[in-house]
Structure 1
Amino acid sequence: MEKSAILSTDRKYRYVLTRIWDETKPTVLFIGLNPSTADEETDDQTIRKCIGYAKRWGYGKLIMVNLFAFRSTDPSLLKRVEDPVGADNDSYIQKYISESDLVIACWGNQTKLLNRDKNLMDMVPNLFCLQRNKNGTPHHPLYLSKDITPVPYN
Protein backbone atom coordinates (compact mmCIF):
# COMPACT_ATOMS: atom_id res chain seq x y z
CA MET A 1 0.00 0.00 0.00
CA GLU A 2 1.27 3.45 -0.91
CA LYS A 3 1.12 5.82 2.07
CA SER A 4 1.57 9.59 2.18
CA ALA A 5 0.55 12.59 4.25
CA ILE A 6 0.82 16.37 4.14
CA LEU A 7 1.74 17.84 7.51
CA SER A 8 2.90 21.24 8.71
CA THR A 9 6.66 21.59 9.15
CA ASP A 10 6.27 21.35 12.94
CA ARG A 11 3.97 18.29 12.46
CA LYS A 12 1.29 19.84 14.70
CA TYR A 13 -1.16 19.92 11.78
CA ARG A 14 -2.03 17.14 9.36
CA TYR A 15 -3.83 18.42 6.30
CA VAL A 16 -4.12 15.28 4.18
CA LEU A 17 -3.52 11.57 4.59
CA THR A 18 -3.59 9.26 1.56
CA ARG A 19 -3.61 5.48 1.20
CA ILE A 20 -3.57 3.87 -2.25
CA TRP A 21 -3.89 0.13 -2.90
CA ASP A 22 -5.36 0.11 -6.44
CA GLU A 23 -4.99 3.17 -8.69
CA THR A 24 -7.44 1.73 -11.23
CA LYS A 25 -10.34 2.09 -8.80
CA PRO A 26 -12.17 5.27 -7.66
CA THR A 27 -11.27 7.54 -4.73
CA VAL A 28 -13.18 8.02 -1.48
CA LEU A 29 -12.64 11.06 0.73
CA PHE A 30 -13.37 10.84 4.45
CA ILE A 31 -13.79 14.08 6.41
CA GLY A 32 -13.21 13.67 10.13
CA LEU A 33 -13.08 16.05 13.08
CA ASN A 34 -9.32 16.25 13.66
CA PRO A 35 -6.31 14.04 13.02
CA SER A 36 -4.86 11.83 15.71
CA THR A 37 -1.63 9.84 15.35
CA ALA A 38 -1.76 8.55 11.76
CA ASP A 39 0.87 9.97 9.43
CA GLU A 40 2.79 9.13 6.26
CA GLU A 41 3.98 5.84 7.79
CA THR A 42 1.54 4.83 10.53
CA ASP A 43 -2.19 4.06 10.50
CA ASP A 44 -4.36 4.57 13.57
CA GLN A 45 -7.58 2.67 14.35
CA THR A 46 -9.79 5.17 12.52
CA ILE A 47 -7.72 5.02 9.34
CA ARG A 48 -7.68 1.21 9.40
CA LYS A 49 -11.47 1.19 9.78
CA CYS A 50 -11.91 3.65 6.88
CA ILE A 51 -9.58 1.61 4.67
CA GLY A 52 -11.74 -1.44 5.39
CA TYR A 53 -14.87 0.43 4.35
CA ALA A 54 -13.24 1.78 1.20
CA LYS A 55 -12.02 -1.66 0.12
CA ARG A 56 -15.42 -3.29 0.74
CA TRP A 57 -17.13 -0.54 -1.28
CA GLY A 58 -14.82 -1.08 -4.27
CA TYR A 59 -12.51 1.93 -3.92
CA GLY A 60 -8.76 1.86 -4.48
CA LYS A 61 -7.71 5.11 -2.86
CA LEU A 62 -8.58 6.72 0.47
CA ILE A 63 -7.98 10.36 1.27
CA MET A 64 -8.56 11.66 4.80
CA VAL A 65 -8.99 15.34 5.65
CA ASN A 66 -10.50 16.94 8.75
CA LEU A 67 -12.58 19.93 9.79
CA PHE A 68 -9.66 20.83 12.07
CA ALA A 69 -6.09 20.00 11.04
CA PHE A 70 -4.63 20.26 14.57
CA ARG A 71 -3.35 16.83 15.62
CA SER A 72 -4.53 15.59 18.99
CA THR A 73 -5.92 12.43 20.54
CA ASP A 74 -8.08 14.72 22.72
CA PRO A 75 -10.62 16.71 20.65
CA SER A 76 -11.37 18.97 23.65
CA LEU A 77 -7.98 20.62 23.03
CA LEU A 78 -9.40 22.15 19.84
CA LYS A 79 -11.14 24.76 22.00
CA ARG A 80 -7.85 25.81 23.60
CA VAL A 81 -5.61 26.01 20.53
CA GLU A 82 -5.18 29.41 18.88
CA ASP A 83 -5.74 28.03 15.36
CA PRO A 84 -7.32 24.55 15.42
CA VAL A 85 -8.29 24.71 11.72
CA GLY A 86 -4.79 25.23 10.30
CA ALA A 87 -3.69 27.82 7.78
CA ASP A 88 -3.93 25.61 4.68
CA ASN A 89 -6.75 23.28 5.69
CA ASP A 90 -9.64 24.70 3.67
CA SER A 91 -7.66 24.77 0.43
CA TYR A 92 -6.73 21.10 0.85
CA ILE A 93 -10.32 20.16 1.69
CA GLN A 94 -11.63 21.92 -1.42
CA LYS A 95 -8.94 20.38 -3.63
CA TYR A 96 -9.67 16.82 -2.54
CA ILE A 97 -13.44 17.20 -2.58
CA SER A 98 -13.16 18.01 -6.28
CA GLU A 99 -10.85 15.02 -6.92
CA SER A 100 -12.95 12.38 -5.12
CA ASP A 101 -15.72 10.12 -6.37
CA LEU A 102 -17.41 9.84 -2.97
CA VAL A 103 -17.20 12.19 0.04
CA ILE A 104 -18.02 10.81 3.50
CA ALA A 105 -18.66 13.02 6.53
CA CYS A 106 -17.50 11.21 9.68
CA TRP A 107 -16.68 13.95 12.18
CA GLY A 108 -18.94 12.81 15.00
CA ASN A 109 -20.99 15.08 17.23
CA GLN A 110 -18.34 17.52 18.54
CA THR A 111 -18.51 20.05 15.70
CA LYS A 112 -20.12 23.17 17.15
CA LEU A 113 -16.72 24.88 17.37
CA LEU A 114 -16.51 27.62 14.72
CA ASN A 115 -19.46 26.14 12.78
CA ARG A 116 -16.99 24.10 10.76
CA ASP A 117 -19.57 21.43 9.95
CA LYS A 118 -21.96 23.98 8.43
CA ASN A 119 -19.15 25.60 6.43
CA LEU A 120 -18.11 22.26 5.00
CA MET A 121 -21.62 21.16 4.11
CA ASP A 122 -21.87 24.24 1.90
CA MET A 123 -18.76 23.03 -0.01
CA VAL A 124 -20.09 19.54 -0.79
CA PRO A 125 -23.38 19.19 -2.70
CA ASN A 126 -23.47 15.37 -2.48
CA LEU A 127 -22.19 14.57 0.99
CA PHE A 128 -22.64 11.08 2.44
CA CYS A 129 -22.11 9.62 5.89
CA LEU A 130 -21.77 6.17 7.41
CA GLN A 131 -24.69 6.64 9.78
CA ARG A 132 -26.26 9.55 11.69
CA ASN A 133 -25.93 10.13 15.42
CA LYS A 134 -29.14 10.76 17.38
CA ASN A 135 -28.51 14.52 17.08
CA GLY A 136 -28.21 14.26 13.28
CA THR A 137 -24.43 14.61 13.03
CA PRO A 138 -22.41 12.09 10.98
CA HIS A 139 -21.22 9.16 13.05
CA HIS A 140 -17.51 8.59 13.65
CA PRO A 141 -16.42 5.31 11.97
CA LEU A 142 -14.58 3.68 14.84
CA TYR A 143 -17.46 1.94 16.62
CA LEU A 144 -19.71 1.19 13.66
CA SER A 145 -20.29 -2.18 12.00
CA LYS A 146 -17.85 -3.04 9.24
CA ASP A 147 -20.75 -3.96 6.93
CA ILE A 148 -22.48 -0.58 6.57
CA THR A 149 -22.83 1.34 3.33
CA PRO A 150 -22.83 5.13 2.87
CA VAL A 151 -26.10 7.05 3.12
CA PRO A 152 -26.83 10.61 1.90
CA TYR A 153 -26.06 13.26 4.51
CA ASN A 154 -27.18 16.58 3.02
Structure 2
Amino acid sequence: MITEKTNIRMDSIFSDDKKHRFLLRRSWAKEGKIATVIMINPSDADYLITDVTTMSVYNGLARLGEYAAVNIVNLYSLATSKMSFRRIDSELNLPDNDKMILKVAAESDMILLCWGSVGDTNSRVAKRIMHVLDMLKNEKEKMHVLTYGDKEGLHPLVPQMRTTLWKLKQIDFDSYYESYNYAKDKATKKESKESTVVEESKDQVIEA
Protein backbone atom coordinates (compact mmCIF):
# COMPACT_ATOMS: atom_id res chain seq x y z
CA MET A 1 0.00 0.00 0.00
CA ILE A 2 1.34 3.42 -0.99
CA THR A 3 0.18 6.68 0.54
CA GLU A 4 0.93 9.85 -1.40
CA LYS A 5 0.62 13.30 0.15
CA THR A 6 1.09 16.75 -1.31
CA ASN A 7 0.26 20.32 -0.44
CA ILE A 8 -1.74 22.13 -3.12
CA ARG A 9 -2.17 25.85 -2.63
CA MET A 10 -5.10 27.73 -4.12
CA ASP A 11 -5.40 31.53 -4.26
CA SER A 12 -8.01 33.77 -5.82
CA ILE A 13 -8.20 37.56 -6.03
CA PHE A 14 -11.54 39.33 -6.53
CA SER A 15 -12.86 42.88 -6.55
CA ASP A 16 -14.33 44.05 -3.25
CA ASP A 17 -17.86 43.21 -4.40
CA LYS A 18 -16.68 39.81 -5.78
CA LYS A 19 -18.27 40.55 -9.15
CA HIS A 20 -14.89 40.57 -10.86
CA ARG A 21 -12.12 38.01 -10.56
CA PHE A 22 -8.58 39.05 -11.39
CA LEU A 23 -6.60 35.90 -10.59
CA LEU A 24 -7.01 32.23 -9.85
CA ARG A 25 -3.76 30.50 -8.93
CA ARG A 26 -2.89 26.90 -8.11
CA SER A 27 0.57 25.67 -7.13
CA TRP A 28 1.32 22.01 -6.54
CA ALA A 29 5.11 21.57 -6.48
CA LYS A 30 8.13 23.34 -5.01
CA GLU A 31 10.13 23.17 -8.22
CA GLY A 32 9.03 23.70 -11.81
CA LYS A 33 7.91 26.32 -14.27
CA ILE A 34 5.10 28.81 -13.77
CA ALA A 35 2.45 29.14 -16.47
CA THR A 36 -0.02 31.93 -17.05
CA VAL A 37 -3.18 31.01 -18.94
CA ILE A 38 -5.32 33.77 -20.45
CA MET A 39 -8.94 32.89 -21.23
CA ILE A 40 -12.10 34.91 -21.91
CA ASN A 41 -13.82 35.60 -18.60
CA PRO A 42 -14.09 34.00 -15.15
CA SER A 43 -16.96 31.88 -13.88
CA ASP A 44 -17.65 31.21 -10.20
CA ALA A 45 -14.43 29.24 -9.71
CA ASP A 46 -12.39 30.25 -6.66
CA TYR A 47 -9.90 28.67 -4.26
CA LEU A 48 -12.52 26.03 -3.36
CA ILE A 49 -14.92 25.66 -6.30
CA THR A 50 -13.42 24.31 -9.53
CA ASP A 51 -15.37 24.51 -12.78
CA VAL A 52 -14.85 22.28 -15.83
CA THR A 53 -12.67 24.77 -17.71
CA THR A 54 -10.41 25.39 -14.74
CA MET A 55 -10.05 21.67 -14.11
CA SER A 56 -9.09 21.12 -17.75
CA VAL A 57 -6.33 23.71 -17.38
CA TYR A 58 -4.99 22.15 -14.18
CA ASN A 59 -5.04 18.65 -15.65
CA GLY A 60 -3.53 19.69 -18.99
CA LEU A 61 -0.55 21.47 -17.44
CA ALA A 62 -0.01 18.89 -14.69
CA ARG A 63 0.21 16.07 -17.26
CA LEU A 64 3.10 17.87 -18.99
CA GLY A 65 5.16 17.32 -15.86
CA GLU A 66 7.27 20.49 -16.06
CA TYR A 67 4.97 23.02 -14.40
CA ALA A 68 4.63 23.69 -10.68
CA ALA A 69 2.00 26.42 -10.74
CA VAL A 70 -0.51 28.15 -12.97
CA ASN A 71 -2.01 31.64 -12.94
CA ILE A 72 -5.40 31.87 -14.62
CA VAL A 73 -6.36 35.36 -15.83
CA ASN A 74 -8.87 36.55 -18.41
CA LEU A 75 -9.44 39.11 -21.15
CA TYR A 76 -12.44 40.34 -19.16
CA SER A 77 -12.70 40.34 -15.37
CA LEU A 78 -16.49 40.07 -14.96
CA ALA A 79 -17.30 36.73 -13.30
CA THR A 80 -20.31 35.29 -15.11
CA SER A 81 -21.47 32.02 -16.64
CA LYS A 82 -23.24 33.90 -19.45
CA MET A 83 -20.99 36.48 -21.06
CA SER A 84 -22.86 39.26 -22.88
CA PHE A 85 -21.05 41.83 -24.98
CA ARG A 86 -24.09 44.11 -24.80
CA ARG A 87 -22.56 45.41 -21.59
CA ILE A 88 -20.27 48.42 -21.77
CA ASP A 89 -16.51 47.96 -21.41
CA SER A 90 -16.38 49.32 -17.85
CA GLU A 91 -18.87 46.64 -16.77
CA LEU A 92 -16.93 43.83 -18.42
CA ASN A 93 -13.43 44.74 -17.32
CA LEU A 94 -11.86 46.70 -14.46
CA PRO A 95 -8.45 48.43 -14.69
CA ASP A 96 -7.07 46.13 -11.95
CA ASN A 97 -7.46 43.22 -14.35
CA ASP A 98 -4.91 44.64 -16.80
CA LYS A 99 -2.50 45.27 -13.93
CA MET A 100 -2.85 41.65 -12.82
CA ILE A 101 -2.31 40.28 -16.34
CA LEU A 102 0.91 42.29 -16.64
CA LYS A 103 2.12 41.21 -13.20
CA VAL A 104 1.65 37.46 -13.55
CA ALA A 105 2.84 37.41 -17.17
CA ALA A 106 6.15 38.97 -16.13
CA GLU A 107 6.58 36.38 -13.37
CA SER A 108 5.78 33.41 -15.61
CA ASP A 109 7.94 31.11 -17.73
CA MET A 110 5.18 30.51 -20.29
CA ILE A 111 2.02 32.36 -21.33
CA LEU A 112 -0.75 30.28 -22.89
CA LEU A 113 -3.34 32.16 -24.97
CA CYS A 114 -6.55 30.15 -24.53
CA TRP A 115 -9.46 32.33 -25.60
CA GLY A 116 -10.34 30.12 -28.57
CA SER A 117 -12.11 31.60 -31.59
CA VAL A 118 -14.13 34.28 -29.78
CA GLY A 119 -12.11 37.10 -31.38
CA ASP A 120 -12.47 35.82 -34.93
CA THR A 121 -15.99 37.16 -35.52
CA ASN A 122 -16.43 39.86 -32.89
CA SER A 123 -14.65 43.14 -33.62
CA ARG A 124 -14.94 44.30 -30.04
CA VAL A 125 -13.26 41.19 -28.67
CA ALA A 126 -10.60 41.29 -31.39
CA LYS A 127 -9.82 44.87 -30.37
CA ARG A 128 -9.56 43.80 -26.71
CA ILE A 129 -7.23 40.94 -27.66
CA MET A 130 -5.02 43.36 -29.59
CA HIS A 131 -4.90 45.62 -26.53
CA VAL A 132 -3.80 42.73 -24.29
CA LEU A 133 -1.17 41.65 -26.83
CA ASP A 134 0.11 45.22 -26.96
CA MET A 135 0.40 45.21 -23.16
CA LEU A 136 2.37 41.97 -23.24
CA LYS A 137 4.61 42.60 -26.25
CA ASN A 138 7.70 42.55 -24.01
CA GLU A 139 6.74 38.98 -23.06
CA LYS A 140 6.09 37.81 -26.63
CA GLU A 141 8.81 35.13 -26.52
CA LYS A 142 6.79 33.35 -23.82
CA MET A 143 3.51 33.20 -25.76
CA HIS A 144 2.09 29.85 -26.85
CA VAL A 145 -1.21 28.38 -28.04
CA LEU A 146 -2.77 24.94 -27.76
CA THR A 147 -2.63 22.77 -30.87
CA TYR A 148 -4.25 19.53 -32.02
CA GLY A 149 -3.38 18.21 -35.47
CA ASP A 150 -3.55 21.18 -37.82
CA LYS A 151 -5.73 23.22 -35.45
CA GLU A 152 -4.19 25.99 -33.38
CA GLY A 153 -5.36 28.42 -30.72
CA LEU A 154 -7.78 25.99 -29.09
CA HIS A 155 -9.79 26.58 -25.94
CA PRO A 156 -9.24 24.16 -23.00
CA LEU A 157 -12.86 22.97 -23.29
CA VAL A 158 -12.35 21.55 -26.79
CA PRO A 159 -12.95 17.78 -26.25
CA GLN A 160 -9.48 16.76 -27.44
CA MET A 161 -7.87 19.15 -24.94
CA ARG A 162 -9.61 17.38 -22.07
CA THR A 163 -8.41 13.90 -22.94
CA THR A 164 -5.03 14.15 -24.72
CA LEU A 165 -1.56 15.30 -23.75
CA TRP A 166 -1.37 19.00 -24.46
CA LYS A 167 0.88 20.26 -27.24
CA LEU A 168 2.00 23.87 -26.97
CA LYS A 169 3.23 25.93 -29.90
CA GLN A 170 5.10 29.22 -29.64
CA ILE A 171 3.41 31.90 -31.71
CA ASP A 172 4.89 34.25 -34.27
CA PHE A 173 3.81 37.38 -32.41
CA ASP A 174 3.62 39.77 -35.38
CA SER A 175 1.60 37.35 -37.54
CA TYR A 176 -0.66 36.47 -34.64
CA TYR A 177 -1.31 40.14 -33.87
CA GLU A 178 -2.02 40.92 -37.53
CA SER A 179 -4.53 38.05 -37.72
CA TYR A 180 -6.63 39.82 -35.08
CA ASN A 181 -6.28 43.14 -36.85
CA TYR A 182 -7.66 41.42 -39.95
CA ALA A 183 -10.43 39.75 -37.94
CA LYS A 184 -11.36 43.07 -36.35
CA ASP A 185 -11.64 44.84 -39.72
CA LYS A 186 -13.60 41.96 -41.27
CA ALA A 187 -16.00 41.72 -38.34
CA THR A 188 -16.46 45.51 -38.28
CA LYS A 189 -17.49 45.53 -41.94
CA LYS A 190 -19.91 42.65 -41.37
CA GLU A 191 -21.44 44.29 -38.30
CA SER A 192 -21.79 47.56 -40.19
CA LYS A 193 -23.51 45.81 -43.09
CA GLU A 194 -25.89 43.96 -40.75
CA SER A 195 -26.70 47.21 -38.96
CA THR A 196 -27.50 48.87 -42.29
CA VAL A 197 -29.84 46.02 -43.24
CA VAL A 198 -31.67 46.33 -39.92
CA GLU A 199 -32.07 50.09 -40.31
CA GLU A 200 -33.37 49.67 -43.87
CA SER A 201 -35.88 47.11 -42.64
CA LYS A 202 -37.09 49.55 -39.99
CA ASP A 203 -37.53 52.26 -42.62
CA GLN A 204 -39.55 49.91 -44.78
CA VAL A 205 -41.83 49.08 -41.86
CA ILE A 206 -42.32 52.75 -41.08
CA GLU A 207 -43.15 53.58 -44.70
CA ALA A 208 -45.65 50.72 -44.84
TM-score using structure 2 length? 0.67
Q: CA RMSD, aligned part only? A: 2.0
> In the alignment, residue 96 of structure 2 is paired with which amino acid?
D
Amino acid at match of 2:33: P
- Cα pair 1:26 1:101 within 8 Å, conserved: yes
The verdict on how the C-alpha distance between 1:70 and 1:38 changes in structure 2, with shifts beyond 3 A counting, is same
Q: Deviations over 1:50-79 (max 9, x none)?
A: 11121122201011000100011112x243
Matched, 1:14 2:14: no
Give the TM-score normalised by the residue count of structure 1. Answer: 0.88
Q: Structure 1 stretches (4+) deviating beyond 3 angstroms? A: none
Q: Give the Cα separation in 1 of the matches to 2:152 and 2:14.
A: 27
The correspondence of residues 3-152 of structure 1 with structure 2, limited to 5 A, is 3-57=10-64, 58-75=66-83, 77-81=84-88, 82-111=90-119, 112-113=123-124, 115-122=127-134, 123=136, 124-126=139-141, 127-131=143-147, 138-143=153-158, 144-145=160-161, 146-152=164-170
Aligned residues of 1:15 and 1:66 also touching (Cα < 8 A): yes
Please state whether the residue corresponding to 2:50 is helix, strand or coil.
coil
Cα pair 1:109 1:137 within 8 Å, conserved: no
**Percent of residue pairs bearing the same amino acid type:** 26
Contact 2:146 2:152 in 1 (8 A): no
Unaligned runs of 5+ in 2: 1-7, 174-208
Of structures 1 and 2, the larger Rg is shown by: 2
C-alpha separation between the residues in 1 aligned to 2:96 and 2:87?
19
Structure 1: how far apart are the matches of 2:108 and 2:100? Answer: 12
More helix by share: 2
Q: Which has the higher contact order (CA 8 A, sep 6+)?
A: 1
Q: 1:138: how far off?
A: 2.6
State the distance in 2 between where 1:137 and 1:12 align: 32
How far has the Cα of 1:137 moved from its partner?
7.6
- Residues paired across the two proteins, number: 151
Superposed CA offset, 1:9-44 (max 9, x none):
111100000001003111011000100121121111
- Say whether the 8 Å CA contact 1:4–1:41 is kept in structure 2: no
